[in-house]
Amino acid sequence: ALCREKGMAYYVPIRHSPESNVPNVPDAIEVLKETLEDESIPKIGHNLKYDMLILKQEGINVKGALYDTMVASYLLNPNKPNHSLEEVGLEYLSHKKVPFTEVLGKRHSFSEVAVDEAVTYAAEDAELAMELKCILFEKLKDEGLEKLYLDIEMPLIYVLADMEQAGVKINNARLEELSGELGIELGTIESRIYAIAGETFNINSPKQLGNILFKTLGLQPGKKTKTGYSTGMNVLEELAKDHELPGEILNYRTLYKLKTTYLDALPKLINRKTNRIHTSFNQTVTATGRLSSSEPNLQNIPIRGEWGTKIREAFTAETGHCLISSDYSQIELRVLAHISNDEGLTDAFIKDIDVHSRTAAELFGISLESVTQEMRRIAKTVNFGVVYGISPYGLSEALDISPKEAGQYIDQYFEKHKGVRAYMERTIAEAKQAGYVITLLGRKRPVPEINSTNSNIRQQAERLAINSPIQGTAADLIKIAMINIHNRLKREKLKTRMVLQIHDELLCEAPENEAGIIKDMIRHEMENAISLSVPLKVDIGVGKNWSEAH
């Protein structure tokens, strides 16, 4: 549907069923193509990426400046869970749209809706988006979000549309093989669980598991829920200190989830025409500015561990191609060093000293050379914990030490990193005053709960206030890198494609003869996305599959 002025919208029923008797659709597509590929004509829409992907299937590659009202709504209120046209139209125009489900009725898809009905619904969408653009763009200007919107979020739509269209190749046979292997391992764990429990039961039933743990084995129960005692992860982790069964249950749950979520589910999501999985990247879901992915979510595959590595083996390159994984090294700590201007962190990154080893040396009062792996592990937990505003209790749980000892680690850290403490205090104070926090590139996140009288709610908001500018800046950084890489690939007429973004990591598929050029290009664009007071560092790997490349 297209609209150029209020009260006048047009609907082109591209993919309606043959029964609709729509005349001359090919002719209409040619006219559409001419207009939509004209770079001088701006394009306004709500969720433009979806429309662009549909149009790509018809051979139309949208060009020109974009104005997406869904993304505009998101930037104005990133905490809001729903930025649908119905919601945004109601909020800003008090316009109540006919729900899509009502138009669809009992039909399976919009292509089955009679054209006379479809035209009203679709034309209303186009007109509503045009009206919203005028309102929302002014609000973006008022909030200082115009540059972020035009320079990052709108160009990113082109990048994400191309990534989704490209998809990633999956080795289905390898997934099936791994599913069989994991099934055998789960069976072994299951037998071990029954032997320890002394009877068989449904491991996936919290009620039956609770009976085994708290009645049969007599373990000390934690909090009670409406359906019985909790058997959640935190409870089992605590119980595992005193008995072997909870640890086996945790292991079983982890592997069972990997099997059902990835090994068994991914084959059903492979596109039969392309033999690839085409995940959807979402710009308007996380409050920090990070991308998320869905259908399927490919950002939650475990990075470490035997099975996370094995699952990545099934993500492969086409024949004659390779996968290139590019991962920012300690990006959030580098952003923290910049925005806090902390001398210790800044010095470590400028001198390329291992920041976790340096923190360990500070915490334990020893030389860098004397730091052990265990000391480094503790320091790493402290470093990343600080980024998330961790409490002594939270750190004690993570390290399995007393809250007193954890508190001492935190105090020692802040004694050496006064710039970080000052940043945290300053950010919380500013958030209480303004009601929001802001990234280096101007992205805002409201934190209204920071003035709550409830201490738990307030402390949670303070942790969000500390972390959001860091995580949000890191998200903006990789988005800029993605846009610049995408533009260079087009400009230099290279065949390499970006296929996945996993927070701080980019995965590209490149012809083998382009791999060298692409590695240099990616490193340059990622390490120079924006200028910080510390260098950005990228780890790059190449392989036939994601596991080899990572």
Could you tell me if 130 and 46 are in contact, meaning their C-beta atoms sit under 8 angstroms apart?
no
Specify the pLDDT at position 31: 85
Structure token digits, residue 546: 């994601």
Count of C-beta atoms within a 10 Å radius of residue 277: 20
Q: What is the CATH number of domain 285-331+475-549?
A: 3.30.70.370
Topology at the third CATH level for domain 333-470? DNA polymerase; domain 1 (1.10.150)
**Secondary structure (DSSP) of 442-492:** --EEE-GGGG-SSHHHHHHHHHHHHHHHHHHHHHHHHHHHHHHHHHHHHHT
Specify the pLDDT at position 504: 95
Specify the pLDDT at position 465: 97
Q: Are strands 228-229 and 436-438 parallel, antiparallel or unpaired?
A: unpaired
Of 520, 483, 545, 546, the C-alpha closest to 159 is 483
Residue-wise pLDDT tens digits, 235-278:
998 899 899 999 999 999 999 999 999 999 999 999 999 999 99
In which region does residue 145 sit, left (phi positive, over 0), alpha (psi from -120 to 50) or beta (all else)?
alpha
Residues of the chain with pLDDT below 50 are none
Specify the pLDDT at position 19: 58
Specify the pLDDT at position 214: 93
Specify the pLDDT at position 315: 97
Domain boundaries, the chain: 2-165, 170-277, 285-331+475-549, 333-470
Answer positive or negative: Cα dihedral of 187, 192, 197, 203: negative
- The class level of CATH for 170-277 reads mainly alpha
Specify the pLDDT at position 537: 98
Is 188 exposed, middle or buried (CB count within 10 Å of its CB: 0-12, 13-18, 19+)?
exposed
Specify the pLDDT at position 113: 81
E strand spans, 102-258: 168-170, 224-225, 228-229
Residue 241 phi, psi dihedral angles, 5° rounding? -70, -25
Specify the pLDDT at position 22: 65
Q: What is the CATH number of domain 2-165?
A: 3.30.420.10
Specify the pLDDT at position 103: 84
Specify the pLDDT at position 20: 59
